[in-house]
Amino acid sequence: MANVTVIGAQWGDEGKGKIVDWLSERADVVARFQGGHNAGHTLVVGDKVYKLSLLPSGIVRGTLSVIGNGVVLDPWHFRDEVAKLKGQGVEITPDNLQIAETCPLILPFHRDLDGLREDASGAGKIGTTRRGIGPAYEDKVGRRAIRVCDLAHLDDLGPQIDRLTAHHDALRAGFGEAPIDRAALIADLTDIAAFILPFVKPVWLTLNKAKSEGKRILFEGAQGTLLDIDHGTYPFVTSSNTVAGTAASGTGLGPSGAGFVLGITKAYTTRVGSGPFPSEQDNDIGQRLGERGHEFGTVTGRKRRCGWFDAVLVRQSVAVSGVTGIALTKLDVLDGFAELKICTGYRIGDRSFDYLPAHAQDQARAEPIYESIGGWSETTAGARSWADLPAQAIKYIRRIEELIGCPVTLVSTSPERDDTILVRDPFAD
Ligand code: IMP
């Protein structure tokens, strides 16, 4: 079966938008399976730039797009994003966009709580996107969430709202905040329900039907493996499982549906928000990577932290997500460096590691062990075949493959969709 699951193999922002857009043209269905509108996927199509946070990227090309149950959905943001894209000429109807009935809702007090906690945490803050993602997932696993299907039963929602608001009012009181205005919440939900409900479907059925008809499904991961709630740099992570396995649980298709797992990684490393980053270059090198790579967050506009490629972390991501092939992005940002470094291990005190240990303090103390490789002076921007690449750039890619134990099956050399070197077509497998 020719399905493809695209996931980030670093801390997010690996350039998934372009790759997903490129693949979505040949997919029959594109599905999001985790996260929410904390994601930021930029698509450049011709002379138009589309910025998506919540909607699957396939929507821009009219491909059937599905928001799976693993996503947390802010219904007001959904309405705004639909309006913004429609304003750019994208057609969005219940015929090409479906939302899972079981998606938990992100409500205004989730956003409040996210911000209140961040503000109260001082130097220990996570650096979240403040969009209420974490608090919404907490209510999901706490079995208190209001879900998309509840919007069709607002009259029966009283006891559920009581339970949810009682929980949040206690938390809010701790921050000196006023209780939730219950009547206003119900009025807002009633208002938004009319907009959301036409899109709501049992998407697990849609996907299983598509699978049985031999259709091509593209699963679009958000964030990256190192932000995974279980496998990432906890607690400096997002609140969902970002690994490829979530494509199954986050949509209801089952584990055999994931297909080819395409891990996206930049040719260097970036991270937004707080947390360990062993190969970070808080110096001229990081500055140069950030400027050349335009490293500012799509969602929050925050400057991204930049550093050398960390082969240890990507090797770990390849393992925990079962990555079949790597898409290497932003190679051109490394053009002109006389010397490049690759992190191949860590030293923590007098011990060395070939993986990132789990404990936050060990992660914070991990010192990178580097190997150096000569850079190249030519430009790789816009390369479309191996023959267009300088020999040193090919050597760099080959070394990365060796270190991470996974083949590079695609190289992206500019935001333009055609500036891509395709080694192996993931849909052809
Ligand atoms: P949250 O997902 O808003 O709770 O943020 C938790 C962590 O994940 C923070 O470090 C964010 O910067 C990071 N994060 C969330 N979404 C993205 C993304 O799409 N790209 C990169 N980092 C993200």
183 and 204 part of one domain:
no
What is the model's pTM?
0.96
278 and 369 part of one domain:
yes
* Domain around 281: 267-313+330-404
pLDDT in tens, the chain (429 residues): 589 999 999 999 999 988 998 899 899 999 999 999 999 888 888 889 999 999 999 999 999 999 999 999 999 999 999 999 999 999 999 999 999 999 999 999 999 999 999 999 998 899 999 999 999 999 999 999 999 999 999 999 999 999 999 999 999 999 999 999 999 999 999 999 999 999 999 999 999 999 999 999 999 999 999 999 999 999 999 999 999 999 999 999 999 999 999 999 999 999 998 999 999 999 999 999 999 999 987 777 789 999 999 999 999 999 999 999 999 999 999 999 999 999 999 999 999 999 999 999 999 999 999 999 999 999 999 999 999 999 999 999 999 999 999 999 999 999 888 899 998 999 986
Domain count, the chain: 3
DSSP result, 37-57: TT--EEEEETTEEEEESSS-G
Q: Which atom of ligand 1 is nearest to the CA of 300?
A: 12
- Asked if 422 and 410 touch (Cβ cutoff 8 Å), the reply is yes
224 C-alpha to ligand 1 centroid (Å): 9
98 and 208 part of one domain:
yes
Q: Supply the residue whose CA is at minimum distance from atom 20 of ligand 1.
A: 12
Q: What are phi and psi of 70, to 5 degrees?
A: -75, -5
Residue 307 maps to which CATH number? 3.90.170.10
Residue 324 lies in a domain: no
381 and 295 part of one domain:
yes
39 lines ligand 1 (CB under 6 A): yes
Q: What tokens were used for 268?
A: 């260097």
Residue 56 lies in a domain: yes
279 C-alpha to ligand 1 centroid (Å): 19
Where residue 251 falls (left for φ over 0; alpha for ψ -120 to 50; beta otherwise) is alpha
Q: How far is Cα of residue 419 from the mean position of the Cα atoms in its chain?
A: 22
The verdict on whether 350 is a catalytic residue reads no
Q: Which amino acid is at 47?
A: D
42 lines ligand 1 (CB under 6 A): no
DSSP result, 354-375: SS--SSHHHHHHPEEEEEEEE-
48-52 and 4-8 beta bridge pairing: unpaired
249 and 291 part of one domain:
no
79 C-alpha to ligand 1 centroid (Å): 22
Q: Which of 181, 196, 211 is the last residue of a domain?
A: 196
128 and 165 part of one domain:
yes
3-state SS, residue 105: strand
What CA–CA distance (Å, rounded) separates 410 from 17?
14
279 and 354 part of one domain:
yes
- Work out the number of other CB atoms within 10 angstroms of the CB of residue 313: 27
Q: What tokens were used for 266?
A: 């930049």
Residue 413, pLDDT score: 92
Q: Residue 235, preceding bond cis, omega within 30 degrees?
A: yes
21 and 82 part of one domain:
yes
Residue 410 lies in a domain: no
Residue 286 lies in a domain: yes
291 and 398 part of one domain:
yes
Residue 391 lies in a domain: yes
What CA–CA distance (Å, rounded) separates 155 from 141?
24
Residue 237 lies in a domain: yes
- Work out the number of other CB atoms within 10 angstroms of the CB of residue 196: 20
The verdict on whether 335 is a catalytic residue reads no
Residue 411 lies in a domain: no
304 and 392 part of one domain:
yes
238 and 282 part of one domain:
no
Residue 80 maps to which CATH number? 3.40.440.10
Residue 121 maps to which CATH number? 1.10.300.10
172 and 192 part of one domain:
yes
- Rounded to 5°, the CA angle 237-243-244 comes to 160
